[in-house]
Amino acid sequence: MRHALSETLSGLRRNLGITLAVIMTMWVSLSLFGAGLIAAQQVNLLKDEWYDKIEVTVYLCTAKLQTGGNCDPGQDATQEQKDRIQEAIERNPEVEFVIYESKDEAYAQFLDVFKDSPIADSLTLEEMQDSFRVKLVDPQKYQGLVSQVQLMRGVQKIQDLHQILDPVFKWLAALQWGTIALSILLLLAAALQISTTIRMATFTRGREIGIMRLVGASNFYIMGPFLLESLIAAMVGAVFASVTLVFGVWFVIIQNAQQSLEAFRWVGWTETWISVASIFVVAIVLSIIPTIISARRYLRV
């Protein structure tokens, strides 16, 4: 063990420049990797919260607004049409429950919300619409209900928040996967740097390695210092990346986002520690595998 530690310290001093480059690359790449994990967990939290609150609203025809192709000219949806629409909605297995809201109820709610605003005078009772507010068992399985109801007589339009949220989440997913992809490229660069460092170290210590092989040194005895060198560099980079990630979560999310946007669910320390643990696991794997491959190839042990 003493020999491995002394050889490791000697190797780190000899290859100080490359070791620092490995640490910096690991720092940046692992920080991006951790940020990608945090972003992925944040997107999942927002999806769980927002999709759970989504309702599909089916607006019925009104004589004042004739903008839908399923409306009879100059008249509201008939009671027969309303009953058929409600029956179709209730029979759909994806529907958890449905609430009917008359135009009188909708107008009263509108006046209550905008009672102190000039907007209150912008609509009249005749311009309001009867509607069905539908809560789904699985908010992401909405297309079946929409396709079933949208062509029924008496349906003026269907409002579905997925049309707004899906593009937002697609962009967020693209951002998180872009961050992870960039971190993977940098991690590959770090692995190549580790491999290069090991090759240089084996070349520098070629005579010593030959002597150790002649006296019957074991494979682990010869490879131990190289493993420790790469592991130390990776762990230092992982520590820097973890500190960067923890500070970023504390400053950006805990101190700012959670204070200014309290209505949203934000990642916390639990998700942060999961990302930190993942950083160290990746760092260990990334330091050991290239070292073993290079050592077995160039040392032929």
Give 142-207 as a DSSP string.
Answer: -HHHHHHHTTSTTEEEEEETHHHHHHHHHHHHHHHHHHHHHHHHHHHHHHHHHHHHHHHHHHHTHH
Class for domain 52-162, per CATH? alpha beta
User: Residue 13: what pLDDT?
Assistant: 57
What is the rounded distance in angstroms from the CA atom of residue 107 to the CA atom of residue 124?
Answer: 8
Is-contact 37 275, C-beta < 8 A? yes
What is the rounded distance in angstroms from the CA atom of residue 90 to the CA atom of residue 144?
Answer: 13
What is the rounded distance in angstroms from the CA atom of residue 189 to the CA atom of residue 18?
Answer: 13
Is-contact 81 144, C-beta < 8 A? no
Of 160, 167, 186, the C-alpha closest to 31 is 186
In the chain, what are the domain boundaries?
2-49+166-298, 52-162
Give every residue of the chain whose pLDDT is below 50, as ranges: 1, 3-4, 301
Amino acid at 250: W
